[in-house]
Amino acid sequence: MSFTLAIVGRPNVGKSTLFNRLVGKRLALVDDQPGVTRDLREGAAKLADLRFTVIDTAGLEEVTDDSLQGRMRRLTERAVDMADVCLFMIDARTGITPSDLVFADILRKRSAHVILAANKAEGAAADAGVIEAYSLGLGEPIRLSAEHGEGLHDLYVELMPIHDGFTERAEQQEPEVDVDLPEDFDDEDWDEENPPPYPMPTDKKPLQIAVVGRPNAGKSTLINHIIGEDRLLTGPEAGITRDAISLRFDWDGIPCKLFDTAGMRKRAKVQDKLEKLSVSDGLRAVKFAEIVIVLLDAAIPFEQQDLRIADLAEREGRAVIVAVNKWDLEGDKQNKLRDLRESFERLLPQLRGAPLVTVSAKTGRGIDRLHTAIERAYEVWNRRITTAQLNRWLSGMVEAHPPPAPQGKRIKLRYMTQAKTRPPGFVVMCSHPDKMPASYTRYLVNGLRTDFDMPGTPIRLYMRSQNDSNPFKGRKKAGPSKLRKHTNTRRSEK
């Protein structure tokens, strides 16, 4: 990426629509009502042969207090300071408003490169607004239609010289990375026969972590404390976060990608269209994540919605960590922790053994324990067990508790192997797999979880018949008359 472009402007001028068009995906929520975007969202933009980072910002409001709009404005001003180029968008059909004049003056003082864009400029109805945009003193405006993709060539022409300047500067400041090894380098410790036991996160494929939970549980505050900066909008109001915001950073040497999601309420309470979009965005983040942190409020833990969210993450096959926030407000911590563990084991038996970590997003206590739990959960999620170990274990399990014989048909467990990881999946070859009761499958899963030290991670166990690969299975046997007829036919042909 050569430079960073921040899209700023009043609410409802089309910033998120242009952001989605530049990144080529519907990442940002878009709706007709103003003020949909609240947090900063970054994306990898592509415009012809240009590659850069684009930031979608909240609509600028003329508010400077500590209200929600005031905090949104400060976050947008921070994006202006971070970005190399600012694209100031106005609504060509509405024309220049007093707020546009105020924000143009702010950008003139705070940004070195400002590009003026008149959005919604398709048709003759926008001509007056485009001409009026010259009065802002930011140069010639670009006529854009983010909805229909018009005017992107003009934006490309404006960004090209900026891109070339940043590319040349990056080449001059590029560090030396291709270094020859010294002559006394000892490579005896490197063992090509024994690679790492599971794929470690890299810069290209970072560890993807989604933080989910009910509204006002403290998800954004927790992520801000983890990354060490006020990157996400926070406050006492419930439901501030709307988009699933992704943030990249290195967490103690591990490349990570954190997803902050909108609070998920009960389905019956979600009536607003925008909230439905926010919840679906959060559910999509769970499906793409590898680790899911279910954040609870210590004052009201394990409500029905918390259980549903944790069960969703387990059904999606993600490694689950339960974090209890606002632990600094608890008085009797020992008794509370004992009650939490008892409730966890009773209400979420499918996640038995999953990490339960107490944290305080406000003070940062427990963040180290959370990091350790994430590393441990990721290792278990990628766990691979050899076939020999599994079959020795299976013989012991069957000897200790043989499978039942439904309808007098004895079920024989012949062979077991691991078919996949992330999450661990196992296949047992047996007779009559369709008659295997769910209780015996749970017995095997719980044994795998205990004997191979895989607490909390989802485990998939599939029963298969050894005859499934027989191509002649299900065909009727030929009777004696048919065999004689077939033989006579062959003789007459000869």
Feature table: binding site for GTP: 9-16, 56-60, 119-122, 213-220, 260-264, 325-328
Helix and strand numbers, DSSP H then E, in the chain: 13, 15
Per the CB < 8 A criterion, the answer to whether 59 and 220 are in contact is: no
The rounded distance, in Å, linking the Cα atoms of 144 and 133 is 13
What CA–CA distances, in Å, run from 188 to 106, 184, 185, 197, 198? Answer: 60, 12, 9, 19, 22
Residue of 297, 280, 281 lying closest to 336 (CA atoms): 297
Structure tokens at 23: 């990144």
Residue 420 Cα distances to 95, 277, 465, angstroms: 58, 33, 18
Alpha-carbon torsion angle 216, 353, 336, 374, nearest 10: -50
Copy the structure tokens of residue 217: 């549980």
Q: Which residues, other chains included, contact 312 with Cβ-Cβ below 8 Å and sequence gap of 6+?
A: 283, 286
Structure tokens that stand for 440 in this block: 């015996």
Percent composition of the chain: helix, strand, coil (DSSP 3-state, to 5): 40, 20, 40
Annotated binding site: 9-16, 56-60, 119-122, 213-220, 260-264, 325-328
**Cis preceding-peptide flag for 471 (omega within 30 of 0):** no
CA 32 – CA 42 distance, rounded (Å): 22
For residue 247, the cross-strand partners are: 258
Angle at 440 between CA 436 and CA 446, to 5 degrees: 140
> What is the Rg, in whole angstroms, of the alpha carbon atoms belonging to the chain?
30
